[in-house]
Amino acid sequence: MRAPTFAAAAAAVLLVAVAPAQAQQYPQRPISMIVPFAAGGPTDVLARVLGQHMSQTLGQSIVVEDVTGAGGTIGSARAAKAAPDGYTLVMGNIGTHAASVGLYPKLPYNPVSDFEPIMLIATTPMVLVVKKDLPVKTLADVIALAKQRRVTQGNAGTGSASHLTTLLFTSLAHVDVQLVPYRGLSQAMNDLLAGQIETMFDQVISSSPHIINGGVKPIAVTSPTRAKAIPGVPTTIEAGLPELQTLTWTALFAPKGTPQPIIERLNTAVDQAMKDPAVAKRLEELGADLPAPGEARTPQALAKLVSAEVAKWTPLIRAAGVAAE
| Residue 254 host element (H or E) | strand 247-255
Region of 119 (left: φ > 0; alpha: ψ -120 to 50; beta: rest) is beta
Answer for the pair 58, 212: CB distance below 8 angstroms, yes or no: no
Neighbouring C-alpha atoms within 13 Å toward the C-beta of 76: 30
Domains and CATH numbers, the chain: 18-124+248-320 (3.40.190.150), 125-247 (3.40.190.10)
Answer for the pair 42, 250: CB distance below 8 angstroms, yes or no: yes
Taking alpha carbons only, the member of 190, 13, 184 closest to residue 95 is 184
How do residues 45-92 score in pLDDT, each as one tens digit?
999 999 999 999 999 999 999 999 888 999 999 999 999 999 999 999
299 exposed, middle or buried (CB, 10 Å; 0-12, 13-18, 19+)? buried
Q: Which of 13-17, 143-147, 180-184, 190-194 has the lowest mean pLDDT?
A: 13-17
pLDDT averaged over every residue in the chain: 90
- For residue 250, the 8-state DSSP code is E
| Distance of alpha carbon 180 from alpha carbon 138, whole angstroms | 22
Counting residues of the chain whose pLDDT is more than 70, the rounded percentage is 92
Please give the pLDDT value at position 7.
Answer: 52
128-145 mean pLDDT: 98
301-321 mean pLDDT: 88
Helix axes 299-320, 161-173, angle to 10 degrees: 50
Please give the pLDDT value at position 325.
Answer: 60
Question: What are the residue ranges of helices labelled H in 26-152?
Answer: 42-58, 73-80, 100-103, 139-148
Q: Show the CA angle centred on residue 161, arms to residues 312 and 310, nearest 5°.
A: 25
CA dihedral 122, 228, 160, 131 (to 10 degrees): -160
Backbone angles phi, psi at 125, to 5 degrees: -80, 165
Please give the pLDDT value at position 3.
Answer: 46
Please give the pLDDT value at position 18.
Answer: 53
Taking alpha carbons only, the member of 283, 248, 287 closest to residue 48 is 283
Q: Is the pLDDT of residue 115 over 80?
A: yes
How do residues 151-198 score in pLDDT, each as one tens digit?
999 998 777 788 889 988 998 999 999 999 998 888 999 999 999 999
| Distance of alpha carbon 100 from alpha carbon 317, whole angstroms | 9
pTM attached to this predicted model: 0.77
284-298 mean pLDDT: 89
Taking alpha carbons only, the member of 197, 229, 196 closest to residue 213 is 229
| Distance of alpha carbon 37 from alpha carbon 186, whole angstroms | 9
